[in-house]
Structure 1
Amino acid sequence: MKIALLAGDGIGPEIVAQAERVLHHFKQEGLKIELESGLLGGCAVDAAGEPFPESTRRLAIEADAILLGAVGGTQYDNLPREKRPEQGLLAIRKELNLFANLRPVVLYPQLANASTLKPEIVTGLDILIVRELTGDIYFGRPRGIEYRDGEKVGFNTMIYSESEIRRIAHVAFQAASRRNGRLCSVDKMNVLECTQLWRDVVTETAQLYPNVKLSHMLVDNAAMQLVRNPKQFDVVVTGNMFGDILSDEASMLTGSIGMLPSASLDDKNKGLYEPIHGSAPDIAGKGIANPLATILSAAMMLRYSFNEEEVAARIEHAVQKTLEEGYRTADIYEDGTKKIGTTEMGDRVLTNLQLQ
């Protein structure tokens, strides 16, 4: 199993280092893992002048899966758009055709009080957000900034083909079939023709999944319902832009964006795995970042790309055990728990793996 490690920028190297320790633990147990590091984002701009250099492109193509930290930083904000770190992330998704983004939103019972919502609203929360990742307004053309009638005008194109929608709909229906059999498709069909097509295609695809109950919701209502009654959702499927916003909103239901992993998959389950939080440059280098989302991303990688269900479950159990013992990084700390740093959190997870 060849895994590309792309630590990226900000807190990326700190959190990926802890996930790498977990992977080395299983390598020592006999799991056949090969790890190779590469550059993506701002660090690649600094070293090679491009956010997605050719060497990283080759590594990504050769690898069976990719574990990413985070990209970006304020020091790159004034670069030409094509040179900014985020363009590297968009480029690797496009290069590998990683069209299906899976974001589980699970509240660990030990963190119910860390959520900004009342415990009774979020206790038992378990949602899967399926976000289409290679289409929509992020990639649509034409796009740009130009002069019209003597002033600057910015424009982007929201666009989806029938085949793109059907492809992600199948992923979502299959996921719902393996869970509680409920799928909510989120769109803005009352205003946007692009998302009218989305609703039409998802509705048509539902005929192939009679065991799944399909509902539809407008995106503004979905944003409200996520904080009003989040446990009504099982699987949510939506487009690239709406999914970007809703999944970040949903992450805060769990107490911290630092707890949530994600998987971005192609049609053969080759994937890029990353925590959903950003590079957090304000805390980079301080040793206080939460590595659990990255460690849980490694668990998702072992489950989805390598079918190592038992190993993935062991990692998740070790994380839960660590939380049960009261260990917390600053973002999830509350009175009565034990505040520790990034490396110490990795230590505790490794200890609990070794005790299994």
Structure 2
Amino acid sequence: MTANKKLLVLPGDGIGPEVMREVGRVVGWLGRERGVRFDISEDLVGGASVDAYGVPIRDEVVAAAKAADAVLFGAVGGPKWKDVPFELRPEVAILRLRQELELFANLRPATVLDPLVDASTLKPDVVRGLDIMIVRETVGGIYFGEPRGIEDLPGGGQRGINTEIYTTSEIERVARVAFDLARVRGGKLCSVEKSNVMESGLLWKQVVTALGERDYPDVELSHMLADNCAMQLVRNPRQFDVIVTGNLFGDLLSDLASMLTGSLGMLPSATLGGVLPDGRRPALYEPIHGSAPDIAGTRQANPLAQILSFAMLLRYSLKMEAEAAMIEAACTRVLSSGLRTADIMSPGMARVSTSVMGEAVLRELEKKPT
């Protein structure tokens, strides 16, 4: 039996607790069948924490996240909290965790599984076999640069200010994550910026180029302007293997790429920090879908993105590649059997609830190899 791993589970709001329950069933299977034990603690974040404690995330939760081997996050937010001050918005929880744990590299896969090739709004021939990994820098750039704010202008009117800032070290550390992924995937990395009109983009291109020449000569590196990349993702997405980009462009391009697959309910993500002196690497795993308050409690939510986020946790934080691959394969087999939640429903398929989809994944995991 493997040593216990410390996991912090933060279900959040809306459908977060519902899809997280299905992950718990997978965790139970790992304990029974694979001898993997976890020390799991659970706490409130987001709107649930605002309601209970008056803040989106407490200091104690941040401390627990720092002490854990990994954090499994659900989703936060909803109309109930839309009018609260910015510092009390549920989304502040995820922003603070990224900053406090220095989670600088967001990994967002955009994968089209064979059973769902018709779910995309693009032609099947365009997206069949799609397997892209977008690596987005998450703690720098225009979202965190200073100065920022809204100021009054003499004579009336106002001015909004945001500042795009990147340093050599910030660019290098996220680029290394992307180069390392490309090295074990298809061997290709596309670096995306706006070097034609932004000095920060020019520095980004220079730093990534130098790093590739120095440390990753075996990886095929290309560069692309962000607007062209958006066009190319729709025109010919399979040309890409790994894409690395800054915070703003990564936010936009990863959402665009996610919809190539047909449903946000299918896509996991990971956000990684640097390796600590004790060998641990802070990391947070979450589905890219939101809290979907309109369907919370209706048993319609798709749990697969949360389950697949847990598979990413096993792969990147715990180095349990075999178990991660088992979970991913089980999800694919369930879809191949024709089961669908509402978000991925198509003619001729069988519509099922959140818990039935989770049960189906568990049944596939429990099947013995023939």
Q: TM-score, normalised by structure 1?
A: 0.98
Contact 1:38–1:59 (8 Å) recurs in 2: no
What residue in structure 1 maps to residue 224 of structure 2?
217
Aligned counterpart, 1:129:
134
2:198 corresponds to which residue? 192
Moved more, 70-79 or 115-124: 70-79
Partner of 1:322: 334
SS of the residue corresponding to residue 195 of structure 2 reads coil
Task: Identify the residue that residue 243 of structure 1 maps to in structure 2.
Answer: 250
Structure 1 unaligned spans of 5+:
none
Partner of 1:304: 316
Identify the range of structure 1 (263-272 vs 324-333) with the bigger mean alpha-carbon deviation.
Answer: 263-272
Q: Of residues 47, 51, 67 in structure 1, which corresponds to 2:72? A: 67
Contact 1:10/1:279 (8 A) holds in 2: yes
User: How many angstroms does 1:277 deviate by?
Assistant: 1.1
Where do residues 131-150 of structure 1 align in structure 2 (5 Å cutoff)? Answer: 131-149=136-154, 150=156
The answer for unaligned runs of 5 or more in structure 2 is 276-280
1:261 counterpart letter in structure 2: P
> 2:82 touches 2:89 (CA, 8 Å); kept in 1?
yes
**Which residues of 2 match residues 1-356 of structure 1 at below 5 A?**
1-29=5-33, 30-149=35-154, 150-207=156-213, 208-268=215-275, 269-356=281-368
Q: What SS is found at the alignment partner of 1:157?
A: coil
Distance in 1 of aligned mates of 2:142 and 2:44: 27
Percent identical across equivalent pairs? 55
**Aligned partners of 2:171 and 2:204 also within 8 Å:** yes
More divergent stretch after superposition (294-303 vs 48-57) = 48-57
CA contact (8 A) 1:72 1:85 kept: yes
**Aligned-partner SS, 2:126:** helix
Report SS of the residue matched to 1:85.
coil
Tell me the CA shift for residue 87 of structure 1. Answer: 1.1
For residues 318-349 of structure 1, the C-alpha deviation after alignment (integer angstroms, 9 at most, x for no partner) is 10110111100011111111100111100100
User: Once the 2 structures are TM-superposed, how far is the Cα of residue 59 of structure 1 from its aligned partner?
Assistant: 1.4
Which amino acid is the alignment partner of residue 43 of structure 2?
G
Verify the 8 A CA contact 2:267 2:305 in the aligned structure 1: yes
Say whether the 8 Å CA contact 2:66–2:282 is kept in structure 1: no
Letter of the 1:297 partner, please give it: S
Displacement, 1:286? 1.1
C-alpha distance in 2, partners of 1:256/1:130? 20
Give distance in 2, aligned partners of 1:80 and 1:162: 34
**Which deviations, in whole Å up to 9, do the C-alpha atoms of 1:98-140 show, x marking residues without a partner?**
1111111111000001110000000010111111111111111
2:149 and 2:70 map into 1 onto residues whose CA distance is 33
> How many residues matched?
356
Report the secondary structure of 2:328's partner residue: helix
